[in-house]
Amino acid sequence: MGKLKEKQLNLFWRDRFKKTKNPISAVYHADKPDWYNYFFHKQKLKIFDSIISKINIKKTYKVLDIGCGYGFFSEKINKSVDEVFAIDIVDEIIKYNKKNASPGINYFAMSATSLKFQDNLFDLSFSLMSLQHLPNSLKLKAISEICRVTKNKGYILLIESIKPEEKSAHVFPLSYDSWVEAFEMNHAKLQLVYGAEYNYLLRFAGKFFSKFQTKQSLIANSNATSLISYFKKILKDIILRFLIGISYLTEPLSRIIFKPSNAHRCAFLFKVSK
Ligand SMILES: C[S@@+](CC[C@H](N)C(=O)[O-])C[C@H]1O[C@@H](n2cnc3c(N)ncnc32)[C@H](O)[C@@H]1O
């Protein structure tokens, strides 16, 4: 059963990478425009930097990126350390990354549920929006693997959805408490947590956009495109761009005002204590 689910996961991501031209959109909301996805990417980069700045990263650190996708974050951390290992379940994306890799990054096609690394190898392991895509039984297997390969006193960084009610065909979020519990069961203690993606208005706009797009394609299919639908499209675009614009301001503000558990995602930093 586990093997079958992993095969389906692999096929889903292979298909996503093949069909989505923009690498950033491929790992976020593939049905939305690239400029919409840049917002989420920039927020993730900021949070990643803030958390990394709290760890006293040494050049000698060995780092593991789990579910690396196009390796944006492997490339980023590679500037601070000598050696980065990055894994992903999709063979094709690993082959692509290998061709474009900076010196110091080693890409491998493998599943997070069965890491082909010795125990206690990494000083820092991270999964950014990858574990949330594993069904729960596979997720727990992957968490125990990540803790196994991370050194005692090493760090584990996660950025994952904390809204189980937003479960879908390929997203299986845990609640805030369940993420913490799953890592604590594997001897990793929570050190720091940041909220990310608080913006409810933006999420609502995203859903509205998807519905609108479906309607538009139905109209287009019936060849009944009109001036009104053209203006509606422009209006929708302006509204979304406006909401994205204000979200650049409200996101950092929300991080100050609201608790991390009120956010849509959380960045968790754990320290291993075996
Ligand atoms: C949303 S993307 C995130 C990519 C990258 N971490 C980033 O933030 O840019 C999720 C990634 O997890 C990978 N993935 C899914 N299941 C996996 C598994 N069992 N083992 C390793 N990688 C997996 C997918 O192929 C995909 O590249």
Give tens-digit pLDDT for 76-122. 999 999 999 999 999 999 999 999 999 999 999 999 999 999 999 99
| 146 within ligand 1 shell (Cβ under 6 A) | no
Nearest CA to 165 among 174, 155, 177, 156? 174
Examine the domain organization and report whether 164 and 228 are in the same domain: no
CA of 64 to the centre of ligand 1 (A): 13
- Beta-bridge partners for 266: 160, 195
Would you say residue 228 lies in a domain? Answer: yes
| 113 within ligand 1 shell (Cβ under 6 A) | yes
| Mean pLDDT in residue range 149-161 | 97
Would you say residue 255 lies in a domain? Answer: no
Q: Model confidence over 188-239: pLDDT tens digits?
A: 999 999 998 887 777 776 676 666 665 555 555 555 567 777 777 788 788 8
Would you say residue 179 lies in a domain? Answer: yes
Residue 216: per-residue pLDDT: 54
CA distance 123 to 62: 5
Strands in 150-161's sheet, in edge-to-edge order, are: 105-109, 83-88, 62-66, 122-128, 150-161, 265-272, 188-196
Q: Three-class SS of residue 140? A: helix
Would you say residue 256 lies in a domain? Answer: no
Pocket residue to mutate for ligand 1, from 31, 130, 140, 160, most atoms within 8 A of Cβ: 130
Examine the domain organization and report whether 204 and 127 are in the same domain: no
Residue 201: per-residue pLDDT: 72
Of residues 36 and 77, more confidence is placed in 77
Examine the domain organization and report whether 124 and 142 are in the same domain: yes
Domain span holding position 43: 2-198+261-272
Of residues 206 and 26, more confidence is placed in 26
Q: Specify the number of domains making up the chain.
A: 2
Would you say residue 254 lies in a domain? Answer: no
CA of 223 to the centre of ligand 1 (A): 38
Examine the domain organization and report whether 57 and 109 are in the same domain: yes
Examine the domain organization and report whether 173 and 137 are in the same domain: yes
Nearest CA to 88 among 161, 12, 164? 12
CA of 13 to the centre of ligand 1 (A): 8
pTM comes to 0.90
| Mean pLDDT in residue range 121-129 | 98
Examine the domain organization and report whether 166 and 33 are in the same domain: yes
CA of 228 to the centre of ligand 1 (A): 40
Q: Tell me, what CATH number does 102's domain have?
A: 3.40.50.150
> Which sign, positive or negative, has the C-alpha torsion 158, 160, 162, 165?
negative
| 27 within ligand 1 shell (Cβ under 6 A) | yes
Residue 169: per-residue pLDDT: 85
Ligand 1 atom closest to 70 (CA): 9
Examine the domain organization and report whether 125 and 183 are in the same domain: yes
Q: Three-class SS of residue 171? A: strand
Residue 224: per-residue pLDDT: 54
Q: Three-class SS of residue 135? A: coil
Examine the domain organization and report whether 218 and 176 are in the same domain: no
Examine the domain organization and report whether 171 and 227 are in the same domain: no
Examine the domain organization and report whether 158 and 41 are in the same domain: yes
Residue 236: per-residue pLDDT: 77
- Evaluate whether 93 touches 13 at the Cβ level (below 8 Å): yes
Examine the domain organization and report whether 233 and 174 are in the same domain: no
Q: Look at the block and give the residue holding tokens 């292979």.
A: 14
CA of 248 to the centre of ligand 1 (A): 26
pLDDT higher than threshold 80 for residue 59: yes
